[in-house]
A and B are shown apart, each in its own frame.
Chain A
Amino acid sequence: MLTLILFLLPLISGIFLVWNKSNGLAKTTTVLVSLAQIALFIYTASVFRADASALDYSLDWLSDFKVSFHLGIDGLSLVMTGLTVVISGLILFATKDLSYGNISRLLGLILITEAALIGVFAAKDAFLFYFFFELALVPVYLMANLWGGDGIARITLKMFIYTVFGSLLMLVSFVVLYLFAQTSELADLAKIPVNLRPGLNNLLFWGFFIAFAVKSPLFPFHGWLPDAYSKSPTPATMLLSGLLSKMGIYGILRILIPLAPAGTANFSGLVIYFCIVGLIYGSVIAIQQFHIKRLIAYSSFAHMGLMAAAALTLSPSGIQGSVFQMVAHGFSAVGLFYVAKIIYDKTGSRSLADLGGMSQRAPRLAVLFMIILLGSVGLPLTNGFVGEFLMLRAIFDFQHILGITAVISIILAAVYLLRLYQKTMFGPVTSFTENIEDIGVKELVVLVPIALVIIITGVFPNCLLELSSGFAQTLPLIK
């Protein structure tokens, strides 16, 4: 029941806000709902510690087809739901004070996205999972189209077609399994693949994998990403990079590995190669970008490659590392995009060529930006390090050469992120940054929690690792 409330609250308030016109009411609702969600989540976590099965909620839905509305929480789901709740809260807090027209509708769409994401992360039924997986994109698509810049229609259409294409392959795989199992319960579907022909198992793998690879996105399915991230309005970008991209990795852990174990065993090596190529590829491209959002977009893309690769090594270290990194990356990506938005709002430019010297004018921003950046660079005692350490170690154990190649990415990350920092914060003041003011309470409310999470989970990572360790052991093929 608790899980259902966690899902319904943002959904209902979101639908309400979409129709609502009053800005004041919208902001109040947003704040209340976000705080209520966080409180609910904390309560959920405490219930989870006591008895995880109490969080199961099942309702007959399409009973003729044995499809049920089944939500439930395990370790991985708890981590992801928590991430969704907190990150959505931060995005809502950030968005409510941004200068977008029709803000109530925008906030409503964010809340609906949050509900859909909670649905994805808590779904225990394949059909339900698929439904929410698709649903999550709709509000973001609308946000991008309604508040986006020039030429956004073409870009979002590209993104939509990309992801729908991937999702349809996933649907086919689900249907194949459904035909054998005659139920869409994920736990029951997981019993099917053992008896299937190897060829079919492989097809299942590719069906699922392409869906998640497009969503994350992984190399070479990232064609939609640079434009979508850089041209969408910032709330949509934050949702895409902070949360929606995680659906891909979550899907790999929750769907791909348990439902296509034989295919995973056959192809994970190949896929990891591609992921590492993507990691280096994205990092190298990010080095020369001048558009701030585009730079962060490529950096985000590179990190997703690492997470997917680590998850597919099927070692405890890799899986827990990638779960941990999902959280870490969620926070740092949202933080970086938000900082990019602040910089843009203050200076009117997103080009590194125009900026510089902001640390003299906005020291608070400079400090928080630095902390978020360091999280992204993977400095020890930030959460980025723990994730990257575990993931890189898993990849190194998987294959030494691959590991060494992957480790190069931490150098590249330092190169492009410090370049980003230096070109915006250091150097002489430019005409764009001459008259800016430092950030105030509105921005601090978002950035300080992000910075705190980055440091606290970096110093005490075990609070998260504990949750995912139980899940990691349930996966097949753990070496």
Chain B
Amino acid sequence: MTLSLLITLIPLIPFAGFLINGLGFRNIPKSMVSVIGTGASFLSFLCVFFTYLQFNGDPVIVKLFDWITVGSLNIGFTFRIDQLSLIMLFVITGVGTLIHGYSAGYMSHDSGFGKFFAYLNLFLFSMIILVLGGNYLMMFIGWEGVGLCSYLLIGFWNKNINYADAARKAFIMNRVGDLGFLIGIFLIISTFGTVEYGEVFGKATSFAVGDGVITAITLALFVGAMGKSAQIPLFTWLPDAMAGPTPVSALIHAATMVTSGIYMIVRSNVLYTLSPFTLEVVAWVGLATALLGAVIGLFQNDIKKVLAYSTVSQLGYMFIGLGVMAYSSGLFHVITHAFFKALLFLGAGSVIHAMSDDQDIRNMGGLWSKIKITAVTFLIGTIAISGIPPFAGFFSKDEILAHTFEHNKLMWVLALAGSFLTAFYMFRLFFVTFTGNFRGTQEQEHHLHESPSSMTLPLMVLAALSVLGGFIGMPVVFHAPHYLNDFLSPLYEGSRTVMEGFGQVHLSHSTEWILMGGSVAVAIAAIFFSYSLYGKGGNVPEPDQEISGFKKVIYDKFYIDELYNALFVKPVMRLSSWLYSAMDNKVIGGLINAISSGVAEAAGVLRKLQTGNIGTYVWLITLGVIIFLGFSVGTEVWTSLKSISK
């Protein structure tokens, strides 16, 4: 099989799966639906794998056809295989396959089973297009495509109008980001005359660091990343997106789609390296998001909401990494995060499944013995996210922190504080859910059961990955090869050209040891603190009405949703009503009505001239004749007088 066909098959197989399941799910038995869905994902994974085997380090570009040709602009429908897209494809199809398999168990009682798998495959297709696309517009296809799938899947249970609202909110907030992305693309076209990655980055190397246009482009693109990757100020959709089925939260809102912002920045690393200002913005926005997400996560009581805010927070860390030019570290965290966050979400799904669809951790407790596999894997995920060596999260987060330390000490301190919070709320979640006594209803307790193997198997695989995944990027001090960095190195060719000393670390080994020790110590301290409160202490978060003071502010997410509502939604609504009733009806419509009634009124006045009295008419006729005669005679007299005076 030729390489280009293989590459084309990667997105095509999930698309075929989508078509088969989407068009025929009424006629296909449930068991076949899940086989087709999961199989498509797995086949796609195999294609990625074989592509990887044939990959020799040079980017492979497959052009299917000319997509849009206008004037001098020619945008091809191209795919690009290089180190970055391969890594992303592995994560997407790999984690995707596991989650497809998990869904076969999780969604088995749902009436929309076939529809669900069709949507998942469509998502996979869009996500693959996003990372596989060979130019910015291809990325945009995927970008909007995953937004659509996210909309469809969040609103999967759309009978509930709140879920449908959450879906709409996600789509619209993403569109706000897309606005930025689109403007970025426009700027790229007008600056470089092309959108193909290779050409854009090639031409970009001739720009000077800090160039205004590049800064504008990168800022605009970053707005897009903010939307998709849920950064301040466009993050509020992600927690609401938890309305979707849990596998969706795991796949889309934790492992893959939300990391596309990071993918985009790593992809455009040349442009970002050229613009230190944007990088600074990226880093600080990431930091702010990391802290805000972590703080809000502290007191949430919905198991999925905690994980959602934790995702927001972890995405913030990735952006910190990108902001300090540690692109690989950001990507590293994307990979490890995909493992452990998918694991946590799927674990949460298993818990919810066991709890008969209850998501409030205050009703749980003591589940450790009841659902052992879920509990153990969940614990592994929790340790991984908290940054305890040698679990995956430790390596990636530590790398980001080390680079941050080198870049800005204050930033490092704040980021470290964030990781304290992370470890604290994650273990709070764990202790409240799995230790102590069961607090739910009798009925729930009766129903408690471990999930079927189709669900636990992905959990175990992901747990294994969460343990081992970090070893692809060992810190320098261990003198082990950093496989990831070595693999990704060709991507930064452009960045190295435009900036001397790019990617070199100047930390001494002792500093690195101290940093590592520091972050581990912070994590362990947080775990103990959490243990003393919720584990040994056995505290249970209080019911909603008892939450007060500053804690309530945090519990209510700093009222950011309400703020946006008051700041954007309500004014637009009011403007809309006003424009309709006052502007369109009164002014535009009124103007027209004024003209027509003006005509009518003039007619009313003028008709008075028609007295009906013949005498008047005759007088007027005579008068008219006299005036016209007088005028023509007058002009004749006037001209002759003039000629005389000459």
Contacts and interface: CB of A to CB of B under 8 A. Distances in A.
Are chains A and B touching in the complex at the 8 Å CB cutoff? yes
Interface of A: 158, 161-162, 220, 222-224, 226, 281, 284-289, 315-317, 320-321, 356-357, 359-360, 374, 379-381, 385-386, 389-390, 392-393, 396-397, 403-404, 407-408, 410-411, 414-415, 418-419, 422, 425-428, 459-462, 465-466, 469, 472
Contacts of B573: 287-288
Contact of B159 (A379, A386, A408, A426): A426
A305 to B, nearest CB: 14
A414 to B, nearest CB: 5
Contacts of A386: 68
Interface residues of A, dominant DSSP: helix
B511 to A, nearest CB: 45
Nearest to A374: B148
B68 A285 contact: no
B71 interface: yes
Contact of A359 (B69, B148, B158, B576): B158
B161 A427 contact: yes
Contacts of A317: 70-71, 73
Contacts, number: 135
Contacts of B70: 316-317, 320-321, 390, 465, 469
Interface stretch (B401-409, B582-590, B621-629): B582-590
B168 interface: yes
Interface stretch (B139-147, B428-436, B493-501): B139-147
Interface residues of B, dominant DSSP: helix
Contacts of B362: none
A418 B168 contact: yes
Interface in B435-453: none
B591 interface: yes
Q: How large is the interface on B (under 10, 10 to 19, 20 to 34, 35 or more residues)?
A: 35 or more
A79 B589 CA distance: 35
A320 B71 CA distance: 9
> Which 3 pairs from chain A and chain B are nearest by CB?
A316-B71, A426-B158, A380-B141
B161 A414 contact: no
A380 B155 contact: no
A242 to B, nearest CB: 23
A397 B182 contact: no
A469 B73 CA distance: 12
18 contacts: A161-B596, A284-B576, A284-B579, A287-B576, A288-B576, A356-B161, A360-B159, A379-B148, A381-B145, A393-B189, A404-B179, A411-B175, A415-B172, A427-B159, A460-B65, A461-B68, A462-B67, A469-B71
Interface in B569-613: 572-573, 575-577, 579-580, 583-584, 588-589, 591-592, 596
B584 to A, nearest CB: 6
Interface string B4-39: 000000000000000000000000000000000000
Nearest to B186: A396
Contact of B68 (A162, A419, A428, A465): A465
B577 A462 contact: no
B232 interface: no
Given A411-B175, A427-B161, A392 B575 contact: no
B193 to A, nearest CB: 12
B164 interface: yes
A288 B589 CA distance: 18
B186 A379 contact: no
A131 B276 CA distance: 62
Nearest to A378: B144
Interface in B255-290: none
